[in-house]
Structure 1
Amino acid sequence: MPVSKRAETSLLTDQVYDMIHESIMNGDLPAGARLRVRDLAEQVGTSVMPVREAIRRLEEAGLAERSPHKGAVVKGLTLAELVHVYDVRRLLEVEAARLGAQRISAEDSARMQDEFALMRTALDERRVVAYLDHDEALLTILYEAAENPVLVDTIRTLWQRCRAYKIVGAEGTVDTTEDDSLWMYQQRLVEAAREHDDAAAAAVNNDSLLDATARIKAQLAQQDVS
């Protein structure tokens, strides 16, 4: 294949990957949704080859999997994966919060507060995906203050892998008016960062992730996910 043709195929693969990835991240393609190669190729207006390559990359990223009699599907939800992913998140994000709180600047603390305000607005308006985006933006500001890009990149990869779980947890809690778990921990985290209280920041993240695991477990149990 000529170099120009390979480059064109690679570009198309990137475009297809980005399209499917965005649909998974915003919940338009939920867990278990079929990724039909010909349908996706028709939507994008390309041949099937870039679509197959994009799906392969999604499988490598842990966002898609092969299902008997269905072919490629968006990665399903399981209690075992939930526990495994959130256990690893706790290991990494507790430390990221501790280091970030030690080093964060006043300007970045203010940016965290701004993201918290946007997150609360999205929550009040029941915009779950926007809520999650602002939550992750808030955490990213703190974690980047730790000055360890490998740590931040690894955490972001885990966020992508568990986005479907996050959506389930948030959607199952957003209409429970007496439950403040979707914003309470972030408020405490912003306060801990502002005070450079690294122990408090680490403890808040630990409690937040334990709470999230329990809430999502309960939601998956209602859906009869094993």
Structure 2
Amino acid sequence: MESQAVKLGIGQCDGVCVKELEEKLQQIQQALDAQDPAGFLDAEEAMLTCVFERAGNQTLMSFIRTLWARSRYYKMVGVKDVFETGNVALLYDEAAQFVAGATTQDENMALDAL
């Protein structure tokens, strides 16, 4: 579902979207620096939402949000594991790649980061 939201929304990523993505990427960095898993997940979901909502499909967005909510515990465990192994840069790099793909409307780059 997230891949479909990227495919539908990336072409609509305008200057407002780019600005939002850059702000969310800064929030991701701050959460990673603070080793705040919940803050990271909140910022990451907000970043993805910037593009996903531009797909214009509220049903798709509703399903994605439901899945995020239901899988939150497992995502939190995964992020905590990344913090413990010291691979925090990987999380930032994936987010930065997604932002770069969305900013340039490069669907493949955004999908690879997703």
The TM-score with structure 1 as length reference comes to 0.48
Give 2:46's aligned residue.
137
Which of 60, 64, 87 is the aligned partner of 1:151? 60
* Superposition deviation, residue 98 in structure 1: 2.0
Instruction: Determine the structure 2 residue equivalent to 1:177.
Output: 86
Aligned counterpart in structure 2 of residue 124 of structure 1, from 3, 16, 33: 33
Distance of 2:46 and 2:87 partners within structure 1: 25
- CA deviations 1:43-92 (Å, max 9, x no partner) are xxxxxxxxxxxxxxxxxxxxxxxxxxxxxxxxxxxxxxxxxxxxxxxxx1
Give the counterpart of 1:186 among 92, 95, 112. Answer: 95
Aligned residue among 110, 115, 122 for 2:19? 110
Q: How many residues align?
A: 114
SS of 1:174's equivalent in the other structure is helix
Identity %: 30
Q: Which residue type is aligned with residue 185 of structure 1?
A: E
What residue is the counterpart of 1:45 in the other structure?
A: none
The aligned residue for residue 111 of structure 2 is 202
CA pair 173-195 structure 1, distance change in 2 beyond 3 A: same
- 1:145-197 deviation digits (Å, cap 9, x = unpaired): 11111111100000001000011001111143345222211100100111011
Greater Cα radius of gyration, structure 1 or 2: 1
Report 1 or 2 for greater relative contact order, CA contacts < 8 Å, sequence distance ≥ 6.
Answer: 2
Identify, as 1 or 2, the structure richer in helix: 2
In the TM superposition, structure 1's runs of 4+ consecutive aligned residues that sit over 6 Å from their partners are: none
1:98 touches 1:201 (CA, 8 Å); kept in 2?
Answer: no
Task: Mark the runs of 5 or more structure 2 residues left unpaired by the alignment.
Answer: none
